[in-house]
Amino acid sequence: MESKITEVYHKEPDERHNTDCSKVSEMLDLVIDGEATSEEERFFNTHLEECVSCFETHQKQKLLKGIISGHLKRVIVPESLALSIKARIQETL
Ligand SMILES: [Zn+2]
């Protein structure tokens, strides 16, 4: 009898959790782009603290966007940065 009760108990938060996950995945782009409301962001962050899979998805998305924007910056800022780094290295030598 006891095992049945725990089984029921285990199912309920899981289903609620999945609903939260799909909400969070819908919000993901908004949050990363900074377009989510503060309420959405709070829900999002609270969920990430509890849910590893959503946390990882968020990290991957952030990384992906970071790579894209990092690449754009590298194109916009050309050799000047590399030259100033070279100059500094020569100063210290
Ligand atoms: Zn989740």
- Rounded to the nearest angstrom, the distance between the alpha carbon of 81 and the centre of ligand 1 is 41
Q: How far, CA to CA in Å, does 65 sit from each of 54, 71, 72?
A: 16, 10, 11
Residue 33's closest CA among 72, 4, 62?
A: 62
- Rounded to the nearest angstrom, the distance between the alpha carbon of 25 and the centre of ligand 1 is 8
- Rounded to the nearest angstrom, the distance between the alpha carbon of 65 and the centre of ligand 1 is 20
pLDDT tens sequence across 71-88: 665 555 557 777 887 888
Distance between CA 48 and CA 25 in Å, rounded?
11
- 64 vs 75, which has greater pLDDT? 64
Q: What percent of the chain shows pLDDT beyond 70? A: 72
- Rounded to the nearest angstrom, the distance between the alpha carbon of 50 and the centre of ligand 1 is 7
**Confidence band (pLDDT; 50, 70, 90) for 46?**
very high
Q: HSE of 16 in the Cβ direction (CA atoms, 13 Å)?
A: 7
**Confidence band (pLDDT; 50, 70, 90) for 3?**
low
- Rounded to the nearest angstrom, the distance between the alpha carbon of 33 and the centre of ligand 1 is 19
- Rounded to the nearest angstrom, the distance between the alpha carbon of 17 and the centre of ligand 1 is 7
Structure tokens at 30: 């908004």
pLDDT of residue 72: 62
